[in-house]
Amino acid sequence: MAATAVIHQETAAQQQQPAASPALLDQLPAEMLIEILSHTDFETFENLRMTSRLLRSVIDLHWTGILPSVIERSFRPADEFWDIFNTAAEVPDDGLPPLLDFCHVIKRWEAEFPRLRFARGAPENSRTLKTHELLRLRRALYLWWRFARSFHADHAVSDDDDGDDNYNYNLGARRDFVRGFSTARFHETKDLWATVRWAVRTRVCPSVSLV
């Protein structure tokens, strides 16, 4: 009985003690939040931004000091990521939205590419991409994106250009662009493009040229 009474007394004492308050992110100073956010991967960064108004406001105000570290961690090779924006590893002048949009596109490719890549084989051979395969995929996407921005974007051809001269210039410029990359890089991009062509032929239209 005495032992039971002691146990009840200890339990009551514990219940009367105030519960320890967890260290909530919302209670930390902005400087510490910036430091914490800059050490997250992109998925964590995006989840925190979407679930907390305070964290979203901190990110929107200080993203130039946060996002480069996140990109370095989640979108390697980061230097080629920044080449898309022609900023030499600096953030673009038009703000956070285009960077986040591009990050979402890359993550969507990382999620969808394995399903397309392994669709022609047996279902049991399907799998996620390994770390080095993700790196190869991102490099191929960055090269493809740079090519598209250089030769297919709205600014690639001006309205006052002569058609034939511009066509000949584009051929030469494209050759020069291609020569700047190694054979290994083109094999990576070829693998991406072959997967895309197969997906288009089987799911959109048998003739890729008509799409």
Q: What is the pTM of this model?
A: 0.74
Average pLDDT, the chain: 80
pLDDT score recorded for residue 18: 46
Cβ atoms within 10 Å, residue 13:
9
What is d(CA 196, CA 178) in angstroms, rounded to the nearest whole number? Answer: 20
Mean pLDDT of 145-172: 64
* Domain map (residue ranges) of the chain: 25-74, 93-211
Contact 84, 142 (CB under 8 A): yes
What is d(CA 194, CA 173) in angstroms, rounded to the nearest whole number? Answer: 24
Greater model confidence, 174 or 45: 45
pLDDT, tens only, 10-66: 555 555 544 444 458 878 899 999 999 999 999 999 999 998 899 999 999 999 999
pLDDT(168) > 60: no
